[in-house]
């Protein structure tokens, strides 16, 4: 029986949702590892909509995170509120600013951010059941917020970005610098992280880090 790997998407598009390259590489790596991807996203409006051609915010437009994420999942996606830790064997969060704008609001509030309650619930369920999790690109910063106040704080990476690594440290987790092609394994907490486009300049080097992440994640599942 195939292992089921939950993939939590935060929309569709690097500036206001899930990073598309990272998401697709993740899905491909899961399939190549002989596992089954189970896509999910929260059902809420995005923080805002960004024109990806100009990088400017689109005034007056609203988009739904779940509906947008369904583009990447080819329509095969679940509302995260309907998923429990018993439904999948492991969990991975691709990056994109949606992870810091829609799954939580760290992009605006920094260390004082709130995490979407269903995202918080699912990650904590995985922690309680000691099931493996992974986070890519900027998503590890959200893990630092979720684990704030926990006895076991994870070791995470977002590459070498000084601002975001300091946020991780301020929340009580440990940040470890890491090359884009590499991963950081926190074996005690069963969390794997990789910098991806927080550091990467090409899709091939980003893919190398994500593929290593997925390989370890599936092996632990």
Active-site positions read: 137
What is the number of helices (H) and of strands (E) in the chain? 8, 9
Residues with Cβ within 8 Å of residue 162, at least 6 apart in sequence: none
Between CA 197 and CA 209 the distance in angstroms is: 10
- Is 42 in contact with 79 (CB distance < 8 Å)? yes
Token pair recorded at residue 217: 């994640």
CB atoms within 10 A of CB 150: 13
- Helix 65-72 and helix 20-32, axial crossing angle in degrees, nearest 10: 50
Residues with Cβ within 8 Å of residue 66, at least 6 apart in sequence: 41, 42, 43, 44, 77, 79
- Helix 139-146 and helix 162-170, axial crossing angle in degrees, nearest 10: 10
């Amino acid at each position: 029986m195939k292992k089921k790997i939950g993939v939590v998407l935060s929309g569709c598009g690097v500036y206001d949702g899930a990073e598309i390259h990272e998401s697709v590489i993740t899905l491909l790596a899961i399939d190549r590892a002989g596992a089954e991807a189970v896509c999910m996203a929260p059902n809420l409006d995005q923080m805002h909509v960004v024109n990806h051609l100009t990088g400017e915010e689109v005034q007056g437009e609203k988009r739904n995170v779940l509906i947008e994420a369904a583009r990447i999942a080819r329509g095969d996606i679940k509302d995260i509120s309907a998923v429990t830790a018993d439904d999948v064997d492991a969990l991975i969060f691709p990056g994109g600013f949606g992870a810091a704008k829609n799954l939580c609001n760290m992009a605006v509030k920094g260390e004082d951010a709130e995490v979407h309650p269903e995202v918080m619930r699912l990650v904590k369920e995985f922690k309680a059941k000691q099931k493996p999790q992974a986070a890519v690109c900027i998503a590890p910063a959200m893990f630092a917020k979720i684990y704030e106040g926990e006895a076991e704080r994870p070791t995470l990476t977002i590459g070498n970005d000084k601002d975001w690594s300091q946020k991780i440290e301020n929340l009580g987790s440990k940040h470890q610098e890491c090359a884009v092609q590499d991963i950081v394994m926190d074996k005690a907490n069963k969390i794997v992280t990789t910098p991806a486009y927080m550091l990467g300049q090409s899709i091939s080097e980003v893919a190398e880090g994500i593929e290593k992440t997925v390989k370890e994640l599936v092996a632990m599942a």
